[in-house]
Structure 1
Amino acid sequence: MKTLYIVRHAKSSWEYDGIEDIDRPLKKRGINDAHLMSKILQEKIDRPDVFVSSCANRALHTGIIFSYAFKYPLANLKINKSLYSFSDGYLVKTIRALDDGFDSAMIFSHNHGINDFVNVFGSESILNVPTCGVVGIKFKTDHWKNIKKGKTFLIDFPKDYK
Protein backbone atom coordinates (compact mmCIF):
# COMPACT_ATOMS: atom_id res chain seq x y z
CA MET A 1 0.00 0.00 0.00
CA LYS A 2 1.29 3.45 -0.95
CA THR A 3 -0.10 6.67 0.54
CA LEU A 4 0.24 10.00 -1.24
CA TYR A 5 -0.51 13.51 0.01
CA ILE A 6 -0.68 16.17 -2.68
CA VAL A 7 -0.34 19.76 -1.40
CA ARG A 8 -0.95 22.73 -3.63
CA HIS A 9 1.44 25.52 -2.65
CA ALA A 10 -0.02 28.22 -0.41
CA LYS A 11 -1.26 31.57 -1.73
CA SER A 12 1.51 33.45 -3.50
CA SER A 13 2.06 37.09 -4.31
CA TRP A 14 1.90 38.79 -7.70
CA GLU A 15 2.78 42.24 -6.34
CA TYR A 16 6.47 42.34 -7.28
CA ASP A 17 7.30 43.82 -10.68
CA GLY A 18 10.06 42.15 -12.63
CA ILE A 19 10.21 39.01 -10.48
CA GLU A 20 10.36 35.71 -12.31
CA ASP A 21 7.41 33.36 -11.76
CA ILE A 22 9.63 30.73 -10.15
CA ASP A 23 10.72 33.27 -7.50
CA ARG A 24 7.27 34.50 -6.45
CA PRO A 25 6.97 34.44 -2.62
CA LEU A 26 4.06 33.47 -0.43
CA LYS A 27 1.64 36.16 0.68
CA LYS A 28 1.01 36.63 4.39
CA ARG A 29 -2.26 34.72 3.92
CA GLY A 30 -0.33 31.88 2.30
CA ILE A 31 2.13 31.69 5.18
CA ASN A 32 -0.74 31.64 7.68
CA ASP A 33 -2.62 28.97 5.71
CA ALA A 34 0.49 26.78 5.47
CA HIS A 35 0.99 26.97 9.24
CA LEU A 36 -2.71 26.24 9.83
CA MET A 37 -2.92 23.27 7.47
CA SER A 38 0.39 21.74 8.50
CA LYS A 39 -0.59 21.83 12.19
CA ILE A 40 -4.01 20.33 11.48
CA LEU A 41 -2.56 17.56 9.32
CA GLN A 42 0.25 16.86 11.77
CA GLU A 43 -2.45 15.92 14.29
CA LYS A 44 -4.45 13.82 11.81
CA ILE A 45 -1.88 11.75 9.93
CA ASP A 46 1.42 10.01 10.49
CA ARG A 47 4.45 11.83 9.17
CA PRO A 48 5.01 10.87 5.54
CA ASP A 49 8.25 9.05 4.74
CA VAL A 50 9.40 11.61 2.18
CA PHE A 51 8.64 15.24 1.35
CA VAL A 52 9.20 16.39 -2.25
CA SER A 53 8.79 19.97 -3.46
CA SER A 54 8.83 21.90 -6.67
CA CYS A 55 11.83 24.23 -6.89
CA ALA A 56 9.54 27.28 -7.09
CA ASN A 57 9.89 29.57 -4.07
CA ARG A 58 6.18 29.40 -3.17
CA ALA A 59 6.06 25.58 -3.21
CA LEU A 60 9.37 25.23 -1.40
CA HIS A 61 8.33 27.71 1.31
CA THR A 62 5.09 25.73 1.78
CA GLY A 63 7.11 22.52 2.02
CA ILE A 64 9.45 24.02 4.61
CA ILE A 65 6.54 25.09 6.81
CA PHE A 66 5.04 21.58 6.61
CA SER A 67 8.45 20.03 7.29
CA TYR A 68 8.77 22.02 10.52
CA ALA A 69 5.27 21.05 11.66
CA PHE A 70 5.95 17.36 11.00
CA LYS A 71 9.49 17.56 12.43
CA TYR A 72 10.78 16.34 9.09
CA PRO A 73 14.49 17.17 8.67
CA LEU A 74 14.92 20.02 6.19
CA ALA A 75 18.10 18.39 4.93
CA ASN A 76 15.90 15.51 3.69
CA LEU A 77 13.36 17.69 1.87
CA LYS A 78 13.79 16.73 -1.78
CA ILE A 79 13.60 19.45 -4.42
CA ASN A 80 12.45 18.29 -7.83
CA LYS A 81 12.78 20.74 -10.72
CA SER A 82 10.37 18.75 -12.88
CA LEU A 83 7.52 19.57 -10.45
CA TYR A 84 7.75 23.17 -11.69
CA SER A 85 7.09 22.05 -15.26
CA PHE A 86 3.73 22.90 -16.77
CA SER A 87 3.75 20.08 -19.28
CA ASP A 88 1.33 17.19 -18.98
CA GLY A 89 2.40 14.23 -16.93
CA TYR A 90 5.15 15.83 -14.81
CA LEU A 91 3.41 15.01 -11.53
CA VAL A 92 2.66 11.42 -12.52
CA LYS A 93 6.26 10.88 -13.64
CA THR A 94 7.60 12.30 -10.38
CA ILE A 95 5.37 10.10 -8.24
CA ARG A 96 6.03 6.96 -10.27
CA ALA A 97 9.77 7.58 -9.86
CA LEU A 98 9.60 7.63 -6.03
CA ASP A 99 11.74 5.07 -4.22
CA ASP A 100 9.66 2.04 -3.21
CA GLY A 101 11.31 2.17 0.21
CA PHE A 102 8.94 5.09 0.93
CA ASP A 103 5.41 3.91 1.72
CA SER A 104 4.09 7.46 2.01
CA ALA A 105 4.97 10.75 0.35
CA MET A 106 3.95 14.39 0.54
CA ILE A 107 4.34 16.35 -2.70
CA PHE A 108 4.27 20.17 -2.88
CA SER A 109 3.38 21.34 -6.35
CA HIS A 110 1.24 23.58 -8.56
CA ASN A 111 -2.31 23.90 -9.78
CA HIS A 112 -1.72 22.85 -13.36
CA GLY A 113 -1.17 19.20 -12.60
CA ILE A 114 -2.77 18.75 -9.18
CA ASN A 115 -6.42 19.04 -10.25
CA ASP A 116 -5.88 16.64 -13.13
CA PHE A 117 -3.96 14.17 -10.97
CA VAL A 118 -6.45 13.95 -8.09
CA ASN A 119 -9.36 13.48 -10.50
CA VAL A 120 -7.65 10.83 -12.62
CA PHE A 121 -5.98 8.89 -9.79
CA GLY A 122 -8.38 9.57 -6.91
CA SER A 123 -11.84 8.16 -6.28
CA GLU A 124 -13.62 11.48 -5.70
CA SER A 125 -14.24 14.29 -8.12
CA ILE A 126 -12.71 17.57 -6.95
CA LEU A 127 -13.51 20.65 -9.01
CA ASN A 128 -10.57 22.70 -7.74
CA VAL A 129 -7.85 22.09 -5.18
CA PRO A 130 -7.32 25.59 -3.71
CA THR A 131 -4.02 27.02 -2.55
CA CYS A 132 -2.71 25.05 0.43
CA GLY A 133 -5.34 22.39 -0.19
CA VAL A 134 -4.33 18.81 0.62
CA VAL A 135 -5.63 15.61 -0.96
CA GLY A 136 -4.69 12.14 0.29
CA ILE A 137 -4.91 9.07 -1.95
CA LYS A 138 -4.11 5.45 -1.09
CA PHE A 139 -2.94 3.02 -3.77
CA LYS A 140 -3.12 -0.77 -3.57
CA THR A 141 0.39 -1.43 -4.81
CA ASP A 142 3.87 -1.98 -3.41
CA HIS A 143 5.50 -0.03 -6.25
CA TRP A 144 5.03 3.65 -7.01
CA LYS A 145 5.62 2.98 -10.71
CA ASN A 146 2.43 0.86 -10.75
CA ILE A 147 -0.01 3.40 -9.31
CA LYS A 148 -3.41 3.36 -10.94
CA LYS A 149 -6.81 4.51 -9.65
CA GLY A 150 -6.59 4.89 -5.88
CA LYS A 151 -8.92 5.68 -2.99
CA THR A 152 -9.25 9.33 -1.97
CA PHE A 153 -9.37 9.37 1.82
CA LEU A 154 -8.51 12.96 2.71
CA ILE A 155 -9.66 16.29 1.30
CA ASP A 156 -8.66 19.24 3.48
CA PHE A 157 -8.82 22.88 2.44
CA PRO A 158 -7.93 25.97 4.52
CA LYS A 159 -11.47 27.39 4.19
CA ASP A 160 -12.75 24.37 6.16
CA TYR A 161 -10.92 25.66 9.25
CA LYS A 162 -11.60 29.39 9.11
Structure 2
Amino acid sequence: MKTLYIVRHAKSSWEYSGIDDIDRPLKKRGIKDAHLMSKYLAKNIERPDVFVSSSANRALHTSIIFCENMGYPLANLQINRQLYSFSDGYLVKTVCALDDAFNSAIIFSHDHGINTFVNKFGNKPIAHVTTCGIIGIQFEEKHWKNIKKGKTFMVEFPKNLK
Protein backbone atom coordinates (compact mmCIF):
# COMPACT_ATOMS: atom_id res chain seq x y z
CA MET A 1 0.00 0.00 0.00
CA LYS A 2 1.18 3.52 -0.83
CA THR A 3 0.07 6.70 0.95
CA LEU A 4 0.24 10.10 -0.71
CA TYR A 5 -0.34 13.53 0.79
CA ILE A 6 -0.78 16.37 -1.68
CA VAL A 7 -0.35 19.90 -0.30
CA ARG A 8 -1.25 23.02 -2.20
CA HIS A 9 1.26 25.76 -1.38
CA ALA A 10 0.17 28.27 1.25
CA LYS A 11 -1.29 31.70 0.42
CA SER A 12 1.13 33.72 -1.67
CA SER A 13 1.51 37.42 -2.23
CA TRP A 14 0.71 39.37 -5.38
CA GLU A 15 2.04 42.51 -3.68
CA TYR A 16 5.39 42.61 -5.45
CA SER A 17 5.37 43.94 -8.99
CA GLY A 18 8.11 43.08 -11.40
CA ILE A 19 8.90 39.62 -10.06
CA ASP A 20 8.28 36.43 -11.98
CA ASP A 21 5.39 34.21 -10.88
CA ILE A 22 7.79 31.46 -9.81
CA ASP A 23 9.39 33.88 -7.31
CA ARG A 24 6.22 35.04 -5.55
CA PRO A 25 6.64 34.75 -1.75
CA LEU A 26 4.17 33.64 0.90
CA LYS A 27 1.96 36.16 2.65
CA LYS A 28 1.98 36.31 6.47
CA ARG A 29 -1.31 34.40 6.42
CA GLY A 30 0.31 31.72 4.27
CA ILE A 31 3.18 31.33 6.72
CA LYS A 32 0.73 31.01 9.64
CA ASP A 33 -1.41 28.49 7.72
CA ALA A 34 1.65 26.41 6.80
CA HIS A 35 2.63 26.21 10.47
CA LEU A 36 -0.95 25.36 11.48
CA MET A 37 -1.35 22.60 8.91
CA SER A 38 2.11 21.08 9.36
CA LYS A 39 1.72 20.95 13.15
CA TYR A 40 -1.68 19.31 12.66
CA LEU A 41 -0.11 16.67 10.40
CA ALA A 42 2.80 16.13 12.78
CA LYS A 43 0.31 15.22 15.53
CA ASN A 44 -2.04 13.12 13.40
CA ILE A 45 0.00 11.08 10.92
CA GLU A 46 3.23 9.17 10.72
CA ARG A 47 5.78 11.37 8.99
CA PRO A 48 5.93 10.59 5.24
CA ASP A 49 9.05 8.87 3.94
CA VAL A 50 9.83 11.52 1.34
CA PHE A 51 9.02 15.22 0.85
CA VAL A 52 8.96 16.59 -2.73
CA SER A 53 8.35 20.23 -3.65
CA SER A 54 7.83 22.39 -6.69
CA SER A 55 10.71 24.80 -7.24
CA ALA A 56 8.39 27.82 -6.98
CA ASN A 57 9.27 30.02 -4.00
CA ARG A 58 5.78 29.74 -2.45
CA ALA A 59 5.73 25.92 -2.65
CA LEU A 60 9.32 25.62 -1.48
CA HIS A 61 8.71 27.91 1.52
CA THR A 62 5.58 25.89 2.41
CA SER A 63 7.54 22.63 2.20
CA ILE A 64 10.36 24.00 4.39
CA ILE A 65 7.87 24.91 7.11
CA PHE A 66 6.40 21.39 6.92
CA CYS A 67 9.90 19.87 7.09
CA GLU A 68 10.74 21.90 10.18
CA ASN A 69 7.50 21.12 12.02
CA MET A 70 7.48 17.45 11.05
CA GLY A 71 11.15 16.79 11.80
CA TYR A 72 12.12 15.99 8.21
CA PRO A 73 15.74 16.86 7.30
CA LEU A 74 15.89 19.78 4.87
CA ALA A 75 18.87 18.13 3.21
CA ASN A 76 16.53 15.31 2.10
CA LEU A 77 13.85 17.59 0.63
CA GLN A 78 13.56 16.83 -3.08
CA ILE A 79 12.94 19.81 -5.36
CA ASN A 80 11.29 19.06 -8.68
CA ARG A 81 11.15 21.89 -11.23
CA GLN A 82 8.53 20.00 -13.26
CA LEU A 83 6.01 20.40 -10.43
CA TYR A 84 5.88 24.11 -11.28
CA SER A 85 3.10 23.33 -13.69
CA PHE A 86 -0.59 24.01 -13.56
CA SER A 87 -1.68 20.70 -15.07
CA ASP A 88 -1.70 17.30 -13.44
CA GLY A 89 0.65 15.74 -15.99
CA TYR A 90 3.90 16.44 -14.15
CA LEU A 91 2.28 15.65 -10.80
CA VAL A 92 1.29 12.22 -12.12
CA LYS A 93 4.81 11.70 -13.55
CA THR A 94 6.38 12.76 -10.24
CA VAL A 95 4.22 10.37 -8.20
CA CYS A 96 4.73 7.48 -10.62
CA ALA A 97 8.51 8.04 -10.52
CA LEU A 98 8.75 7.83 -6.72
CA ASP A 99 11.09 5.16 -5.40
CA ASP A 100 9.12 2.10 -4.30
CA ALA A 101 11.22 2.02 -1.12
CA PHE A 102 9.03 4.94 -0.01
CA ASN A 103 5.62 3.78 1.22
CA SER A 104 4.45 7.34 1.86
CA ALA A 105 5.15 10.70 0.27
CA ILE A 106 4.11 14.32 0.62
CA ILE A 107 4.17 16.55 -2.45
CA PHE A 108 3.89 20.36 -2.50
CA SER A 109 2.49 21.74 -5.73
CA HIS A 110 -0.02 24.09 -7.36
CA ASP A 111 -3.74 24.73 -7.86
CA HIS A 112 -5.06 23.28 -11.10
CA GLY A 113 -2.76 20.26 -11.21
CA ILE A 114 -3.70 19.30 -7.66
CA ASN A 115 -7.44 19.68 -8.23
CA THR A 116 -7.31 17.52 -11.34
CA PHE A 117 -5.07 14.91 -9.69
CA VAL A 118 -7.11 14.43 -6.49
CA ASN A 119 -10.33 14.08 -8.46
CA LYS A 120 -8.79 11.65 -10.94
CA PHE A 121 -7.01 9.45 -8.39
CA GLY A 122 -9.11 9.92 -5.25
CA ASN A 123 -12.59 8.53 -4.65
CA LYS A 124 -14.11 11.66 -3.12
CA PRO A 125 -15.02 14.62 -5.36
CA ILE A 126 -13.32 17.82 -4.23
CA ALA A 127 -14.48 21.04 -5.82
CA HIS A 128 -11.44 23.12 -4.90
CA VAL A 129 -8.28 22.51 -2.88
CA THR A 130 -7.62 25.77 -1.03
CA THR A 131 -4.19 27.19 -0.33
CA CYS A 132 -2.36 24.99 2.18
CA GLY A 133 -5.07 22.36 1.78
CA ILE A 134 -3.99 18.76 2.32
CA ILE A 135 -5.46 15.74 0.56
CA GLY A 136 -4.49 12.22 1.60
CA ILE A 137 -4.99 9.29 -0.78
CA GLN A 138 -4.14 5.64 -0.18
CA PHE A 139 -3.41 3.28 -3.04
CA GLU A 140 -3.53 -0.52 -2.89
CA GLU A 141 -0.67 -0.87 -5.38
CA LYS A 142 2.84 -1.90 -4.33
CA HIS A 143 4.51 0.25 -6.99
CA TRP A 144 4.00 3.98 -7.41
CA LYS A 145 4.11 3.63 -11.20
CA ASN A 146 0.99 1.44 -11.06
CA ILE A 147 -1.29 3.72 -9.05
CA LYS A 148 -4.92 3.74 -10.04
CA LYS A 149 -8.00 5.03 -8.27
CA GLY A 150 -7.24 5.26 -4.57
CA LYS A 151 -9.16 6.00 -1.39
CA THR A 152 -9.32 9.64 -0.27
CA PHE A 153 -8.96 9.46 3.51
CA MET A 154 -8.01 13.05 4.35
CA VAL A 155 -9.37 16.38 3.16
CA GLU A 156 -8.16 19.14 5.45
CA PHE A 157 -8.12 22.88 4.94
CA PRO A 158 -6.77 25.66 7.21
CA LYS A 159 -10.26 27.13 7.80
CA ASN A 160 -11.30 23.82 9.42
CA LEU A 161 -8.58 24.13 12.05
CA LYS A 162 -8.99 27.77 13.01
Which interval holds the TM-score relative to the shorter structure? over 0.9
The alignment partner of 2:19 has SS state of: coil
In the TM superposition, 1:144-155 aligns within 5 A as 144-155=144-155
The aligned residue for residue 32 of structure 2 is: 32
Query: Which 5+ residue runs of structure 2 have no aligned equivalent?
Result: none
Normalising by the residue count of structure 2, what TM-score does the alignment of the two structures yield? Answer: 0.99
The aligned residue for residue 8 of structure 1 is: 8
Task: State the distance in 1 between where 2:63 and 2:17 align.
Answer: 25
- Specify the code of the residue in structure 2 equivalent to 1:34: A
CA contact (8 A) 2:52 2:80 kept: yes
In the TM superposition, 1:1-162 aligns within 5 A as 1-162=1-162
CA contact (8 A) 2:96 2:146 kept: yes
How many aligned positions are there? Answer: 162
- Specify the code of the residue in structure 2 equivalent to 1:142: K
Task: State the distance in 2 between where 1:86 and 1:44 align.
Answer: 29
CA contact (8 A) 2:86 2:111 kept: no
CA contact (8 A) 2:13 2:25 kept: yes
Task: State the distance in 2 between where 1:108 and 1:132 align.
Answer: 9
Cα offset, 1:86, TM superposition: 2.9
The alignment partner of 2:48 has SS state of: coil
The alignment partner of 1:34 has SS state of: helix
Query: Which 5+ residue runs of structure 1 have no aligned equivalent?
Result: none
Would the alpha carbon gap of residues 153 and 88 (structure 1) be closer, same or farther in structure 2, given more than 3 Å must change? Answer: closer
Task: State the distance in 2 between where 1:88 and 1:56 align.
Answer: 16
Cα offset, 1:87, TM superposition: 4.3
Task: State the distance in 2 between where 1:93 and 1:111 align.
Answer: 17
Would the alpha carbon gap of residues 88 and 137 (structure 1) be closer, same or farther in structure 2, given more than 3 Å must change? Answer: closer
Identity over aligned residues, as a percent? 73
Residue-by-residue CA offset, 1:52-103 (whole Å, 9 max, x unaligned): 0000000000000000111000000000000002345111011000000100
Task: State the distance in 1 between where 2:69 and 2:21 align.
Answer: 27
Normalising by the residue count of structure 1, what TM-score does the alignment of the two structures yield? Answer: 0.99
- Specify the code of the residue in structure 2 equivalent to 1:38: S
